[in-house]
A and B are shown apart, each in its own frame.
Chain A
Amino acid sequence: MILRPAIVLALCLLAGTAPAQIQNQAAPGVPLNNVHPETGLPYWAPGRGVVTHENIRRRALEVLDRQFGAFRDATGVLYRTAQAHCAGDASEEDLRTAFADAWLAWAPLDSYQFGPIEQTGAALTVNFWPDKKGFVNRGLRDLLAKTPEEQADPAVVAAGSAAAQGLPALEMLLFTEAPACPAVVGISGNLDRLAGELYDGWFADGGWADLARAAGPDNPIYLDASEFTKTLYTALDFGLTRIADQRLARPLGTFDRPFPTRAEAWRSGLTEAIIHAQLTGIAEMIEDGFAGDVREPDRAWVLKVIGQTHDRLDQIGQPIKDAVVEPASRVRVEGLQTKVHALQLEMDRDIGPNLGVDTGFSAADGD
């Protein structure tokens, strides 16, 4: 952690962009004083018209390192807390807190459904949602029918139903009458292993980060660095789709028929915090990852709209599962959904074209 600024600086120097001596290329002679306080990187002047995808990649990988690292750390705490709880050394409250932290650390990763998440099948194993056919209950019933030793064994959990391996299964154990111990130990242990696998899938030698860094004509995935930028941009857009079309649309249902219990994580009351965390993850990638390679006014504008989206979420003032039922509060949830869709349009207009990623289609898209 202490080393990070030094590494950033070293990389900047390597890339020939020492933060202190940035030239304003769009307006030579005019001082460039809007430098990001954390990364030390400049917000490039408007109209520079040059996007350096290698720099985006370097910064974006730092953001991903942080985000995937946070999930790995949170599942580690969760596993240890589950073991302590079932040994009588940690309270249920401690366990619920560790559970909430793990889910909120997963929330930003929900946007990145490519690379290691696809390779490990983590989308379903970490968060089997929506669960339209009650697979989580069924999977848990099978797990709870096993011996206590088996339930506490992460390997047994890993070999069972994907629906009983993730956060919704833990929620069921922690927020219903189901006996939490010892199954919470097995499930959180497996989740911890998977989180480690995801992190290593990105950042171990020969991982996805190396693959992205090796972009070029011989790379099987990224023919040049801009393709990684495009993948990230598409991922952020997908994250917003997940919020608007799943996290909000599912409980909203229709005016005549809302579905409160289709809200994600309604039992634990994490529905709203998950949306906040996903939005925050998206903002991090734009601010620290895309950073100065997006024109400052556009980037500031989109970040402002994300801030407004957070505010709209707070203004609902009650759990989404309750708000969708009453017309007076329902409109606030609908308003939030409209805001997220508007945010997608802003991204489309201000961020995508700025990055120079071609979001049009090509015969090479394949299927």
Chain B
Amino acid sequence: MRRRHFLAGTAAILAAPAWAEAGAPTYLSAASDAGNATWLVGLTAEGAELFRIPVPGRGHAAAAHPHRAEAVAFARRPGRFAVILDCASGAEIGRLDSPEGRHFYGHGAYTADGRLLLTTENAFDVPDGRIGVWDAGDGYKRVDDLPSGGIGPHEMIRLPDGGFAVANGGIQTHPDFERAKLNLPTMRPNLTYLSPEGAITEQVEAPEDQRQNSIRHIDVDGSGRVVAALQWQGNPLTRVPLLVAHRRGEALEYLDHPETARLKQYAGSVAVSADGGEIAVTGPKGGHVIFFDGRTGAPLPGRDLALASGVARLGEGFAVTVQGGLALGGSHGLRQVTAAPDLTWDNHLVAI
């Protein structure tokens, strides 16, 4: 039994196409068209569309396999499915069905060797945050289930050391209440670090005055410092920072910006430039993007950018999804390139 699984796994790896065969996309993003059909799209850094693969419902984010031209497109919360796509052929390889009593949060990450896929999940009746583990070498069979370290695990990313960071947003939700937030008076988000094997190695909680500032989307720079985009759930008129940085073993460092209010208490995505020099935080509700000096945390001039949602690193700057394409650049300026102008992006830009 074990031997057969091993062989099947090996064969799958050998047969699978590499990203070059899918046109070597730089980015993936979910999108929908005017007829509400939903897609996973592969883009070059200049916005050229390499593929567009249908997915069964509104997507949120995707996870790209580190070697194979394979991606998992996650349904928008509280989605029950995730679709595995062969991005070279456009074929659907399979679907992940969340177990009974669970739904996906819309994010996940592969292990560095590409053997396992990890997904953030809501065990909504408990309630508890969990990480589902799926065997990418064996037809994405579910093989394990780990604690996420908090309520509402949202984005998880792989770190340079092969471990993972998980943003436990702190918000309790239940599909019976659709997207309503059920525990705002008592929520407390945290950032949790996992070893490459998935064991919790460190946790850092939001301090009391930032207890209602949900930690949801994260990125990491080359040194392993994690940055997180925040969504404020407290009194909407309270002024709060929407970016937090964290270095292992230290306290959370909240970074304010004079233009934070323009984001309407809601940071959509965050990215650090490849050289670590700049941090971008998008505000899709406010139609604004703000930048920070990646080394000092000092605020840099932001830009109005309608529907700016997904952001990913592009050299010393960023690519940001906007209506009709991508905005490329950083605090010094952005230029817009057309990409799949018939689509609306939803919600994240995933760098491969």
Contacts and interface: CB of A to CB of B under 8 A. Distances in A.
Interface of A: 113-114, 117-121, 123-124, 130, 132-133, 206, 211, 220-221, 223, 238, 241-242, 246, 360-367
B183 A367 contact: no
Nearest to A246: B176
Contacts of B176: 130, 242, 246
A241 B186 CA distance: 27
A113 B176 CA distance: 12
Contacts of B36: 360-361
Contacts of A242: 176
Contacts of A366: 231, 266, 268, 284-285, 309, 347
Contacts of B307: 362-364
Given A120-B185, A121-B186, A363 B321 contact: yes
Interface in B172-229: 176-178, 180-186, 216
Given A113-B177, A132-B125, A206-B237, A363 B182 contact: no
Contacts of A223: 264
Interface of B: 32, 36, 58, 60, 76-77, 106, 125-126, 154, 176-178, 180-186, 216, 231, 233-237, 261, 264-266, 268, 284-285, 287, 307, 309, 321, 323, 344-347
A365 B77 CA distance: 12
A238 B178 CA distance: 8
A119 B347 contact: no
B178 A363 contact: no
Given A124-B182, A238-B178, A367 B264 contact: no
Contact of B178 (A113, A124, A133, A365): A113
Nearest to A206: B237
A363 B183 contact: no
A361 B346 contact: yes
The 9 A-B residue pairs with the shortest CB-CB distance, nearest first, are: A113-B180, A220-B236, A363-B309, A364-B284, A363-B307, A121-B185, A220-B264, A220-B265, A118-B181
A367 B182 CA distance: 15
Contacts of B235: 119
B55 to A, nearest CB: 14
For A118, A221, A367, which residue has the most chain B Cβ atoms within 10 angstroms? Answer: A367
Given A238-B178, A364-B307, A133 B125 contact: yes
A242 B181 CA distance: 16
Contacts of A362: 307, 344
B323 A363 contact: yes
Nearest to B181: A118
Contacts of B266: 366
A121 B183 CA distance: 5
28 contacts: A113-B180, A114-B180, A118-B182, A119-B235, A120-B184, A120-B185, A121-B183, A121-B186, A123-B177, A123-B180, A130-B176, A133-B125, A220-B264, A220-B265, A223-B264, A241-B178, A360-B36, A362-B344, A363-B284, A363-B344, A363-B345, A363-B346, A364-B309, A366-B266, A366-B309, A367-B76, A367-B77, A367-B347
Contacts of B284: 363-366
A211 B236 CA distance: 9
A333 B266 CA distance: 42
A121 B184 contact: yes
A363 B236 contact: no
Contacts of B321: 363
B240 to A, nearest CB: 11
Which of B77, B235, B285 has the most chain A CB atoms inside 10 A of its CB?
B285
B180 to A, nearest CB: 4
Contacts of B347: 363, 365-367
Contacts of A220: 236-237, 261, 264-265
A190 to B, nearest CB: 13
| Most central of A113, A242, A362 by chain B CB within 10 Å | A362
B314 to A, nearest CB: 19
Nearest to A133: B125
Contacts of A238: 178
Contacts of B309: 363-364, 366
Contacts of A363: 284, 307, 309, 321, 323, 344-347
A118 B184 contact: yes
Contacts of B77: 367
A364 B285 contact: yes
B289 to A, nearest CB: 13
B197 to A, nearest CB: 29
Given A118-B233, A133-B126, A220-B236, 10 more contacts: A113-B178, A113-B180, A120-B185, A121-B183, A123-B182, A133-B125, A206-B237, A366-B285, A366-B347, A367-B60
Contacts of B265: 220
Contacts of A132: 125
A86 B307 CA distance: 58
A243 B290 CA distance: 43
Given A133-B125, A220-B265, A361 B32 contact: yes
Given A363-B284, A366-B285, A118 B345 contact: no
A366 B178 CA distance: 15
B123 to A, nearest CB: 11
A117 B184 CA distance: 10
Nearest to B101: A132
B58 A361 contact: yes
Contacts of A133: 125-126
A221 B216 CA distance: 19
A365 B347 CA distance: 8
Nearest to B306: A364
B344 A367 contact: no
Which of the listed residues B264, B266, B284 has the most CB atoms from chain A within 10 Å of its own CB?
B264
A113 B347 CA distance: 24
Nearest to A234: B178
A198 B256 CA distance: 31
Contacts of A119: 184-185, 234-235
A178 B331 CA distance: 65
Contacts of B345: 363
A120 B183 CA distance: 8
Contacts of A120: 184-185
A133 B177 CA distance: 17
A198 to B, nearest CB: 12
